A and B are shown apart, each in its own frame.
Chain A
């Protein structure tokens, strides 16, 4: 059936041509994606970097573009992240441990599992509506740092849960049995052995989750974070006993991405330069966190040999 040798060769060449074409197209697509990333960062940097100055970091927003800064947004982001981290990390890790180590194979566990997967796919603006109806209206927490932090915590909870589970699943069962064989209870086994071994991977998931929370805008707009904030929340530290204050959690706030959205939606080009500058800081933050997470994951994968 193969006909002449020349025929066979021609046939192969024709077929190989498609492979060659696809290899080129594939490489091209990859490069387009990477070039777009570079263009995005470059465009931001060209516009925004000249605006970065000490004053930009230490000034409040202003109606004059040249005088406006990101002090309140930066502090707001830090405080909101504090609330998010303190809520999402313990609940997320505890859920992951329950689902992976404790849950029996029954309908409740199945329900929780399906639910976590589905929650990860809920559009972020819907969390904003949740915040609006539950935290702001029903629980009367107001347009506060606490509301924002809790909202973002719920948003990144699926990320933390899923990575915790994957990290725990990667620990060989032999280690669990070894701990039991020495008389450890289930919780001792988890706390003394499984969690420490899995901590690197869990940390990676937490960083990725928090970096997502830092960049989220939509769910915070619905709770009215887009107000003109030219003051700082009360300090968490006091001079008298007990030296810590939690007044700041009830304070109004703004955050970095909201500040950027505010500036970018203004028609004046001067404010768009401010938006670019805020964008540079945002991108730098998220790149740093994502890079750290990828590096950690790489290191843990290399370092651990079961």
Chain B
């Protein structure tokens, strides 16, 4: 077949347009891809920085000593580099927070999902979301100047008796800095996170399962507790893990209200520093690049990231283990 000259011209125009358009499309796609890549670069930058900047410290201190040492005083003479006290502080404040947040968050979620009238749910959900949106430094203020004074007031009638009985555990008076107050406030702050995600998981349980339970004569509570809760357990575990991550990484509440002194203790009535507050404390001073202080906060940051990573991996496997396909 021989093309008509006009048709050839028209076709080549067609192709040129297509080539032009393809180039433009390609360019846009590359730009968008680069934007998406920025988040990967952020992660890489975080990991590389945490490792390289704390590496010089591990030339001075063995990793074993770092992990098992019971004393953290890197800026003193002689310096001691045991991170255990900081991990302990993080552990205690997080445990207090979870003791508040897990029961409250789960009960609130189950109530909102299975019991509450739709109207109440529509109001309560946004209010809880707002609770989660308040800046943490404000929560810190609340812990230091409201919750701790209230706790001191509640504690004082028992302080004398308790401190005579077990002087190692119970102080005569609750100090202005302690881990209990900020732990409780942290728990309140995390509650909406847990309740919101758990509620979504429970609402995703198909209505057929609920009806199947009711049809055998189960009550609302039996249906919620024995059918809906187990069916939603993988999402609920995910919410707990997120809560733990937030508690472990929380900085300002503990920095304001838990004290900054590294102390190896499991007693929430005492003040102690956490991994995060140590970073804050060192950053408040002057920390030029390459100093011991600079290296230690990166080592602390590395520990923190590994801890949260650890919980996330556990959470991933736990919620996969329990995942049910309805």
A–B contact via C-beta, under 8 angstroms: yes
Let me know if A119 and B220 touch, CB within 8 A.
no
A18 touching B283, Cβ below 8 Å:
no
Q: Give the nearest-CB partner of B107 in chain A.
A: A29
A126-B304, A215-B134 known; A95 vs B38 contact (CB < 8 Å): yes
Contacts of A99 in B (CB 8 A): 36
Establish whether residues B135 and A125, one from each chain, have CB atoms under 8 Å apart when the complex forms. Answer: no
Interface 9-mer from B78-86, B201-209, B246-254: B246-254
With an 8 A cutoff between CB atoms, is A116 at the interface? yes
Q: Is B301 within 8 A of A98, CB to CB?
A: no
- Which one of A36, A264, A282, A286 lies within 8 Å of B144 (CB-CB)? A264
Q: Does B232 make an interface contact (CB < 8 A)?
A: no
Known A30-B108, A125-B301, A125-B304; judge A19-B219 contact (CB<8 A): yes
**Stretch from A52-60, A153-161, A239-247 that touches the partner:** A153-161
B239 CB to nearest chain A CB (Å): 12
Mostly, the B contact residues are helix
* A39 contacts across to B, CB distance below 8 A: 146
Give the residues in chain B near A27, CB-CB below 8 Å: 111
Q: Give Cα distance in the complex from A286 to B151, angstroms.
A: 28
Contact A134 B276 (CB under 8 A): no
* CB pair A30 B124 closer than 8 Å: yes
Number of A-B contacts (CB under 8 A): 255
Whether A217 touches B221, Cβ cut-off 8 Å, given contacts A36-B188, A111-B40, A122-B305, is no
B301 touches A40 (CB 8 A): no
The reply to whether B298 and A95 form a contact with Cβ atoms under 8 Å apart is: no
Q: A122-B305, A125-B276 are in contact. Are A261 and B140 (CB under 8 A)?
A: yes
Q: How far is the CB of B5 from chain A (nearest CB, A)?
A: 27
The closest CB in chain A to the CB of B301 belongs to A129
State whether B110 touches A154 (Cβ < 8 A). Answer: no
**6 residue pairs from A and B, CB less than 8 Å apart:** A29-B104, A29-B107, A40-B138, A40-B139, A217-B136, A290-B130
- B interface with A by C-beta (< 8 Å): 21, 24-25, 28-29, 31-33, 35-40, 42-43, 45-46, 49-50, 53, 104, 107-108, 110-112, 115-116, 124, 126-131, 133-142, 144-146, 188, 191-192, 219-222, 224, 242, 245, 248-252, 255-256, 276, 279-280, 283-284, 286-287, 289, 294, 297-298, 301, 304-305, 308, 312
Binding site for B on A (CB under 8 A): 12, 15-16, 18-19, 21-23, 25-27, 29-30, 32-34, 36-37, 39-40, 43-44, 47, 90-91, 94-95, 97-99, 102-103, 111-112, 115-116, 118-119, 121-130, 132-134, 137, 154, 157-158, 161, 185-187, 208, 211-212, 214-218, 221-224, 226, 257, 260-261, 264-265, 272, 275-276, 279, 282-283, 286-287, 289-291, 294
